[in-house]
Structure 1
Amino acid sequence: MVEPSTLRDARDAASRYAWKEAFDLFASADAVAPLEPEHLDEMAECAWWIGKMHHCMALRERAYREYLKKDDPRHAAGVAIDLAQHHGDLGDQGDAAAWLQNATRLLEPEPEGAEHGWLHLARALMAHAEGEDDAVVEHAELASEIGGRHGDKDLFALGHAFHGISLVANGADADRGLAMVEEATEGAVSGELGARATGMIYCMMISVNAQLADWQGAGHWTEAATRWCDRQAINGFPGICRVHRAEILRLRGFLIDAEEEARAATVELGSFNLMFSALAFRELGEVRLKMGDLDAAEEAFRQASEMGVTPHPGLAQAMVQRGHPEQAATGLRRILASNGLGPLERAKMLPTQLEVALSLDDLDTARAAADELAAIAGQHPTPAMRAMADVGAAAVLLVEGRLEEAAIAADRAHSLFAGIDLTYEAARASELLGRIHHAQGNLAGARVEEADALVAYEQIGAVVDAERARALLATQA
C-alpha cells in the first residue's frame, strides 16, 4: 500500500528532526484518515520533542490501543514503556508503575527482544527515582546486555551510561562510572545514536560532571548539547540544558544571564519534566539569593520544595539572611542525616553547614563538615572539590587560631577557583583570606584581599556579599 503524500512528507520531516513540521503534517494526515499505530507513535515522538507532552501521551495511548487490536504485544509493550517514562517525568509514579506492569504482562510470554531491554531501562529509571541503587545497577546492566545482544545501539548506550552515572552517584566507583558515561557519549557525538538517546546521554554527561564538581567538563558538554539542540527544533531538552547552564553561569559570576536561563527553564519544563522543573526553580532561587532578592529567592525555593526537590542549601542561606541560623542548622542537619544522600550530594550541603555552624559557635559540627569535605575531595579530586575542601579547612583553622595554615589553604582555594573561572567562589576565598590576614595583623594584606573581593562582588551583582564586604572594609578604614 502506497502511503499518502502528506504522510510520506511527515515521516521525511521526522527523519530530518524537523519535529514541528512533521507534527503538523502527521496531524493533517490523521484528519483525513486515522493513522496506523506506528505512525501515531511517530507523531507522538514529534510532540515530545516540541514540548507537547500531553499531546504525546494521548497519541501514544491511541497507538497502544491500536497495537492491542492488531494483536501486536511487542509494539504495544514498547509504547507502554514510553508512557511509563512520560508519567514518571511528570511525577505520576502510580501511573508510571501501572504502565510498566502492562508492559511486563505483555512481554512475559514473548521470546527475549530489545523491548525486554527497554523494560529493564525503565525499571532502572524508576529505581533511581526511588533511591534503590542496587536495583538501578542491576536493571541498567541488563538493559545494556540485551541491547548488545539484539543490536540496539540506543539501548546499549543508554543502559551503559545509566549504569555509569549510578556508580558515580552512589560513590561505588566514580572513575569507572565516568568512563562508562564517556564511552556512551562517544556514540552520541559521532551521530551513531537516535535523537532521543543522544539527548539523554548528553544530559547524563553534563549531570555526571556537575556531580563531580568538574565545572569545566560540565560547561563543555552543556555548550555541546545546546549546539546540538539549536540544530533541531526542540523545546524539551533545551530546558534541561538551561538548568545546567544556569548553574555554571551562577558559579562563574554571570548572575543576570543565569537568572534568564533558570527562568526560561521553569517555563519550558513546566509540562515536560517535573524533576528538572523543580531543579530549575531551585537554581532560580540560588541566583536570586546572590542578587539580593530574598523574597523572590524564597518563593522559588518554595516551588522547588513543593515539586519534590530539596531547597537546601540555598534555603538555609536564606534563613541565615532572615536572622534564623538555628533553623538553617536544623534543616541542614535533617537533610544530611538522610541515608539516601550520596557523598557528592553531601558535598553540596557541607560548605553551608560549616558556615552556619561557625556562626553559631558550633566548632565541632564545623570541624566534622570540613573533615568530611576533605575526605570527599580525596575521593573526587577535581579542582572545585579540592578548593571547597580548602575553604572549609581554612575557615575552621581561622577559628582555631592556626593562622598560617589557614592562609595557605585559603590562598590555594582562591587559585584553584580562579583557575577554573569560578569567579564568585574565588571572591569568597579572597574575602576569607582577608579575614585571616587581619587576624595575623597584616592589615595591608587584608585590605587588598577584601577590596578584590568587593570589586568582584560588585561586578557580579552579588548584592548581599558586596554589602558585607563594603561594611568590613569600612570598619578597617
Structure 2
Amino acid sequence: MGPSTVLDHARAAFHARDWTRAFDAFRAADAHEPLTADDLDLFARSAYLVGRDDDCATLYERAFSAHLDADDPERAGRSAFWLCFLLMNRGEVARAGGWLARAQHLSEPGRPDCATRGFLLLPAAVQDMHANRPADALPAFTAAQEIGRSCGDADLVALSTLGIGQCRILLGDVTGGLGTLDEVMVGVTLEEVSPVVAGLVYCAVIEACQDTFQLQRAREWTRALGRWCDAQPGLVPFRGQCLVHRAEILQLEGAWTEAMDLARLAFRRLSDPPGQPAVGMALYEQGELHRLRGEFDEAEDAYRRAGRLGREIQPGMALLRLRQGDPDAALAGIRRALGESLPLYRPRLLAGHVEVALAVGDVAAARRSADELAALAREQDAPALSAIAEQVTGAVLLAEGAPRAALDRLRRSCGLWRGFEAPYECARVRVLQGRCCDALGDAESARLEYEAAAATFRDLHAEPDLRDLARVPTRPAARGRLTPREVEVLRAVATGKTNRAVARELVLSEKTVARHLSNIFTKLDVSSRAAATAYAYEHHLL
C-alpha cells in the first residue's frame, strides 16, 4: 500500500470514528511522507482519543508550526488552543499558559467573528470558574458563545454554552443552569460537535447532575455516554474523571464491586501523567467504598491521599472517624468543612453533620443542620436532595422523641430512594423506620424493617451497618422517652459497665457516653446509675 493510499485510509478511519485504526494509519503514513497541517490535526485528535497524550501534544506542536508555514495563523491558533487544553488537563499549567499566550499573539483583533478568538477566551474562563469565580468567568463564556454563533462553529458554541450553564449553577441558578446544559446536550446527541467536544460535554454534564442531585439525569447521561463510547472502537472511555462519576452511579445502584473497579481504573488513567486534579476524586470514591464495606484502614489511606491532592475529604472522613470510635474528631472535621463549604457542596456536608451530631447526642445542632438542608431541598426540584432531607429530618425527629412524625418523613424518603433503585440508602432508612416502630410499641413491624435492612446489608457486604443493626435494642419499653442510642447506653450501664467499657462496646468516646448518661438521668428523673439500672430492670430492657 503506497503512502497516499495509507493516508487516505487514515482519513477514512478518522471519519468512521475508528480511532485505533486512524492513529495507526496516520503513524504509518507519517513515516513515509510529510503530513499536511490539517492531517497533523486529525492525527493529534486520534492520539488523544486513544489515550496517547504525549503523542497528541507533540502532534499539535507540529500542526501549529505547519499552519504557520502555510501562512494560516488562525488554524495555528486553533491547534495551540487544543494543545493548551491538553496541557491544562495534565496539570502542566505553566506550559499551557505559554502556548495560550503564543496563540493570542497570532489572533487577529480585527476579526470578531473568528472562531479561534472565541476558543482562546475559554482557558481563562475555565480557570476562573474552577477557582470559584463564576461571575468573572460568565462574561468570557458569553462572548465566546456569541462568536461561535456568528461564525457557525458548533464546537465553540457547545463549549461556551457548557461554561455558561456551569457558571449559572455555581451562581445559584440551578434550574436555569441545568436547562442550559440540556441545550448543549441536544447538539451532542445530534452529533453536531466533534468527538472530543462531545466527550467533554458528556463528562461535565454528568458531573453537574451529580453535584445538583439530579440523579436520574446523571444516570441517563451516564448510560448514554457508555453507548457513545462503545460505538467508537479504540476510544479510551472518557477519560478518567468521567469514570469516577460512572463509579458513583454504580455505588448508588449497589454495584459496589464494579464501582471499585471503575474507580481504580479512573485513578490509573488520571495518574499518568501525575498531577491531574481529578485524581483526588478517584481516591475519594475509593475511600467511600472502602468505608461502606468496613475496610477502614484502606478508607483512611484513600481519603488522606485525596486530601493531599486538594480534594475535600469531608463528609467521608468524619463518617469514618465516627465508625472508628472517635466522634470528637468526626465533629471537628465536619464543622470545619461546613465553615468553608461552597453552596453547591453544602447539602452532603449538612447530612454528614446531622449523623455525627446525633451520634454525640447534640440533637439541637442536628436539628439546625436538618432544617437548613430541608430549606435547600425546597428551593430545588431535585428528588434525591428531598430524599436526603426527609431522611435526616426523620432521624432528628426520632431523636427528639417524636417517632410518629419521624416515620412519616422516613416513609417519604424510602419511597424516593426506592424510585432511584438505591438499595443501600433504602436499607439505612428502613433501620430508622424500625426504630420508630419500636418506639411506638410495634415490635413486629420493627423486626420486619430490621430484617429487610439486614438482607440488603448482607448482599452489599456492608459490614459496619450489619454490626450496628445487631446492637439495636428491639424491646419497646422506655423507647417513647429515650432515643435508641440512649437505650443502648442504659442497657450497657445497667450491666455494671464503666463509661470506658460502654464507650469501647458502642464505639463512642467516653465524653459522648457521659453526655448520653446525663440525658438519660434527666429524662428518667433519676440521679444515679443505680436508679437508672433499676429503671432498666423494671422496664425489661435487659
Scaled to the shorter chain, the TM-score interval is over 0.9
Check conservation: 1:225, 1:241, Cα contact below 8 A: no
1:388 deviates by: 0.5
Q: Partner amino acid for 1:153?
A: A
1:10 deviates by: 1.4
Within 5 Å, give how 1:153-168 maps onto structure 2.
Answer: 153-168=154-169
* Cα deviation digits, residues 216-249 of structure 1 (max 9, x gap): 2211110111110011121141644422221111
* Cα deviation digits, residues 372-423 of structure 1 (max 9, x gap): 2111111113221111001111122122222221121112111111122111
**Map of 1:382 onto structure 2:** 382
**Map of 1:471 onto structure 2:** 471
The secondary structure found in structure 2 opposite 1:237 is coil
Check conservation: 1:240, 1:269, Cα contact below 8 A: yes
**Map of 1:228 onto structure 2:** 228
The secondary structure found in structure 2 opposite 1:316 is helix
Q: Partner amino acid for 2:337?
A: I
Q: Identify the range of structure 1 (21-30 vs 146-155) with the bigger mean alpha-carbon deviation.
A: 21-30
**Map of 1:411 onto structure 2:** 411
**Map of 2:153 onto structure 1:** 152
Pairing 1:141–2:142 present: yes
Check conservation: 1:169, 1:211, Cα contact below 8 A: no
Report the number of matched residues. Answer: 473
The secondary structure found in structure 1 opposite 2:472 is helix
1:473 deviates by: 6.0
**Map of 2:176 onto structure 1:** 176
- How far apart in 2 are the matches of 1:210 and 1:450? 30
**Map of 1:421 onto structure 2:** 421
- How far apart in 2 are the matches of 1:48 and 1:327? 44
| Uncovered stretches (5+) of structure 2, i.e. residues with no partner | 475-487, 489-540
1:174 deviates by: 1.4
**Map of 2:304 onto structure 1:** 302
Alignment CA distance shift 1:265-1:473 (3 Å): farther
- How far apart in 2 are the matches of 1:332 and 1:34? 59
**Map of 1:293 onto structure 2:** 295
1:45 deviates by: 0.9
Q: Which has the higher contact order (CA 8 A, sep 6+)?
A: 1
Q: Identify the range of structure 1 (466-475 vs 242-251) with the bigger mean alpha-carbon deviation.
A: 466-475
TM normalised by structure 1 equals: 0.93
* Cα deviation digits, residues 107-148 of structure 1 (max 9, x gap): 254522001111122222222222211122222211211110
- How far apart in 1 are the matches of 2:331 and 2:80? 45
**Map of 1:326 onto structure 2:** 328
- How far apart in 2 are the matches of 1:327 and 1:205? 35
- How far apart in 2 are the matches of 1:260 and 1:370? 34
Q: Identify the range of structure 1 (147-156 vs 193-202) with the bigger mean alpha-carbon deviation.
A: 193-202
**Map of 2:529 onto structure 1:** none
Q: Partner amino acid for 1:122?
A: P
Q: Partner amino acid for 1:23?
A: F
Q: Partner amino acid for 1:426?
A: C
- How far apart in 2 are the matches of 1:433 and 1:388? 15
Within 5 Å, give how 1:238-277 maps onto structure 2.
Answer: 239-271=240-272, 274-277=276-279
Check conservation: 1:255, 1:287, Cα contact below 8 A: yes
Q: Partner amino acid for 1:143?
A: A
- How far apart in 1 are the matches of 2:133 and 2:30? 42
- How far apart in 1 are the matches of 2:117 and 2:406? 56
1:59 deviates by: 1.8
Within 5 Å, give how 1:70-89 maps onto structure 2.
Answer: 70-89=70-89
- How far apart in 2 are the matches of 1:302 and 1:95? 29
Check conservation: 1:181, 1:204, Cα contact below 8 A: no
- How far apart in 1 are the matches of 2:76 and 2:51? 23
Check conservation: 1:417, 1:425, Cα contact below 8 A: yes
Alignment CA distance shift 1:333-1:97 (3 Å): farther
Q: For the aligned residues, what is the CA RMSD?
A: 2.2
Pairing 1:36–2:32 present: no
Pairing 1:11–2:11 present: yes
Pairing 1:100–2:97 present: no
Q: Partner amino acid for 2:180?
A: M
The secondary structure found in structure 1 opposite 2:340 is coil
* Structure number, greater radius of gyration: 2
Q: Partner amino acid for 2:238?
A: F
Check conservation: 1:162, 1:204, Cα contact below 8 A: no
Q: Identify the range of structure 1 (63-72 vs 421-430) with the bigger mean alpha-carbon deviation.
A: 63-72
Q: Partner amino acid for 1:363?
A: V
Check conservation: 2:292, 2:462, Cα contact below 8 A: yes
* Cα deviation digits, residues 155-208 of structure 1 (max 9, x gap): 11221122112212331x211111111111111112222212221222233222
- How far apart in 2 are the matches of 1:252 and 1:12? 40
- How far apart in 1 are the matches of 2:242 and 2:406? 38
- How far apart in 1 are the matches of 2:364 and 2:61? 57
- How far apart in 2 are the matches of 1:303 and 1:64? 38
Q: Partner amino acid for 1:202?
A: Y
The secondary structure found in structure 2 opposite 1:271 is coil
* Cα deviation digits, residues 348-370 of structure 1 (max 9, x gap): 22111111122222334322211
Q: Partner amino acid for 2:450?
A: E
Identity among equivalent positions (%) equals 34
- How far apart in 2 are the matches of 1:108 and 1:361? 65
**Map of 1:369 onto structure 2:** 369
**Map of 2:282 onto structure 1:** 280
- How far apart in 1 are the matches of 2:461 and 2:21? 42
